[in-house]
Structure 1
């Protein structure tokens, strides 16, 4: 397996962020679709992608792609793939997920069952065995069908990559780590600029910003399914990627990142999570109402996920909150503001037109990422 095609699913709307991250790792982009980026790399790319990508949900190894409009065709074409290049005789494998969009084959359970039977049928012939113990390493298989085009892959990540390992305490309607990181990457924020999240909740945005500023790889403190794939990956591949991550960390960095909330329990969770992430010394958390927000700093950034009304509060309380936010924005007239919300009336309520607006999905909720750019810092 000198070269392999990898698929990185992501939140809808952040494909450009993920593409840039993959290119920065040195890999060639093959395709960019809604919610996924396909790229090419060597076997070490599996390790490095899992450890370094901030906006990807998973790293999948593409086994094959073909057109199928009947279950018989699906069975035959899955069977034709060279599964013995990935699965050993004792490998434990199952179809963990099948999804279908605008295709003739649409029953997930039937797709899962047929793909599993087809793989077993091929391996019986290859390994000359009628029964497989499946006591070895685990290989979760995923099937994605769009407009009758089938893509079969193996999930190298296991648990989704947004599970960095630090968020043990959460609040209501939390923002995923991958979406928080993507939002930060969609702004021009750098570690030498002040960043405030006035609705920090369990601290995801400040923590992801601190990790990004200190160049702490998001997958450094968690495990991956493919770590046990000794037939495909060497331990040395993982050790090299981990050593690279440690070498890239900025040990003595100083940043100005602040997280505010009116909920003491949320702040308790935020401090705990920041400590687990190893960035508690880089973030100042404090109980503070949005009405009290001020800063003597110039050209700072606000990146935040305020209550929407759908999940927290009501439309009336949301409007009141956004009006208060608008008052703060006027005072911080050199700052840039980046707000994710499903509330469509935010520009009218805060009386400010967004410089840019990008559609993002927060879970299954369709939102907009409003970007209000302030003036650029004056050159000294």
Structure 2
């Protein structure tokens, strides 16, 4: 079976998590760089990656990579790539572009040159004078970094954080891929109780429930490559069937999600129903200060309000101070908070065991991780 060089793009800071996902799915990872993980895959693997990756933004086929400092070099080397092996005669394609620290700094010119090269290559391949472009979509990209051109085709279509369950949203929602990353970076597993005291539209608890139930995040959405000739429809049907069979319907997941805003809770409940995990999550309208918590080795993963969403800095500090008081005697808990507020540890009155820089969209945030002890039964196992 033909092997493709693939790229899973990610938000900066979670490349290592995406790499772990790819290895767990059985892929050979070639290299990990800022914002992307390169791996090898066959056509079945293209389907599997789109269905199963929780932390990747997109899955791309790397058609070619080469040095280019002139437009003639960019045209000639792009034209020489095997476009006809992927794009059919009637394929509809656009070319996006970006350029960083490269002599070919004009993005629009680079896009135009690559588009022309692909057209000429396909015309020669199919022995035609013009291309109809009435078929499936093929989104190509020329990415120039330090004079190295990477030419790709997007197999995902819409970004992978669009799982298909978000029927209702709230202001400044957490991206699904980031929420999944927060969970995979934590001590949480399906046998431990999870709380989110600032659940918003429910992204963290829903992603956790999907992980606990082993629900493939891409089951409820479409993909660009689902309409491509190179991937038989039978492959999509088989990989989708396997994904449904892999769901652990018997897992007893205990997740508690609360928010002070009733509208947020209604949104979260509807999203959980759409994701098929409403039975895993107990929702409650409540101020976090009023939630009853037991010192029972539970875990909290939360995205509390911070500067970009709450203009009153004194209000932000007060929330974090009250949060600290809430967990003052919860010495068996593991606590995880993501915020852009740089004085979080000071306001929370506790230095994190580890903090990791992550991005929520374009907002620079920090993930503060406080490691509590593992339950005795986990230690024994």
Could you tell me the TM-score, scaled by structure 2's length?
A: 0.97
Deviation, 1:128, is 2.1
Q: CA offsets, 1:344-367, max 9 Å, x none?
A: 111111110100011101101111
Q: Is the 8 A contact 2:262 2:285 kept in 1?
A: yes
Q: Is the 8 A contact 1:294 1:328 kept in 2?
A: no
Rounded to whole Å, the distance in 2 between the matches of 1:100 and 1:372 is: 39
Residues 1:10 and 2:10 are matched in the alignment? yes
Match of 1:375 in 2: 373
Q: CA offsets, 1:63-86, max 9 Å, x none?
A: 000011122211111111111111
Residues 1:316 and 2:334 are matched in the alignment? no
Q: CA offsets, 1:329-376, max 9 Å, x none?
A: 213221011111111111111110100011101101111111011122
Question: Which of the numbers 282, 285, 288 marks the counterpart of 1:284?
Answer: 282
Match of 1:203 in 2: 202
Match of 1:233 in 2: 231
Q: CA offsets, 1:246-282, max 9 Å, x none?
A: 1110112211101110001100100000000000111
Deviation, 1:180, is 0.3
Q: CA offsets, 1:90-149, max 9 Å, x none?
A: 111111x21222212222222211110111112222222221111111111122221111
Match of 2:170 in 1: 171
Deviates more, 1:174-183 or 1:245-254: 245-254
Match of 1:351 in 2: 349
Instruction: Give the 3-state SS of the residue equivalent to 2:169 in structure 1.
Output: coil
Match of 2:108 in 1: 109
Q: Is the 8 A contact 2:335 2:370 kept in 1?
A: yes
Rounded to whole Å, the distance in 2 between the matches of 1:106 and 1:306 is: 40
Rounded to whole Å, the distance in 2 between the matches of 1:294 and 1:74 is: 62
Residues 1:325 and 2:351 are matched in the alignment? no
Instruction: Give the 3-state SS of the residue equivalent to 1:51 in structure 2.
Output: helix
Q: Is the 8 A contact 1:290 1:324 kept in 2?
A: no
Aligned pairs (5 A) from 1:1-380: 2-95=2-95, 97-230=96-229, 232-296=230-294, 298-379=296-377
Rounded to whole Å, the distance in 1 between the matches of 2:288 and 2:189 is: 23
Rounded to whole Å, the distance in 1 between the matches of 2:85 and 2:111 is: 21
Deviation, 1:306, is 0.9
Instruction: Give the 3-state SS of the residue equivalent to 2:279 in structure 1.
Output: helix
Q: Is the 8 A contact 1:8 1:59 kept in 2?
A: yes
Q: CA offsets, 1:4-46, max 9 Å, x none?
A: 1110001110111100000011010011001100100111000
* Total equivalences in the alignment: 378
Instruction: Give the 3-state SS of the residue equivalent to 1:308 in structure 2.
Output: coil
Q: Is the 8 A contact 1:197 1:260 kept in 2?
A: yes
Q: Is the 8 A contact 1:337 1:371 kept in 2?
A: yes
Rounded to whole Å, the distance in 2 between the matches of 1:40 and 1:283 is: 37
Instruction: Give the 3-state SS of the residue equivalent to 1:368 in structure 2.
Output: strand
Query: Aligned-pair RMSD on alpha carbons?
Result: 1.2
Q: Is the 8 A contact 2:295 2:332 kept in 1?
A: no
Deviation, 1:297, is 5.1
Q: Is the 8 A contact 1:293 1:328 kept in 2?
A: no
Deviation, 1:378, is 2.4
Rounded to whole Å, the distance in 1 between the matches of 2:136 and 2:323 is: 52
Rounded to whole Å, the distance in 1 between the matches of 2:295 and 2:234 is: 46
Instruction: Give the 3-state SS of the residue equivalent to 1:281 in structure 2.
Output: helix
Rounded to whole Å, the distance in 2 between the matches of 1:104 and 1:365 is: 29
Deviation, 1:244, is 1.2
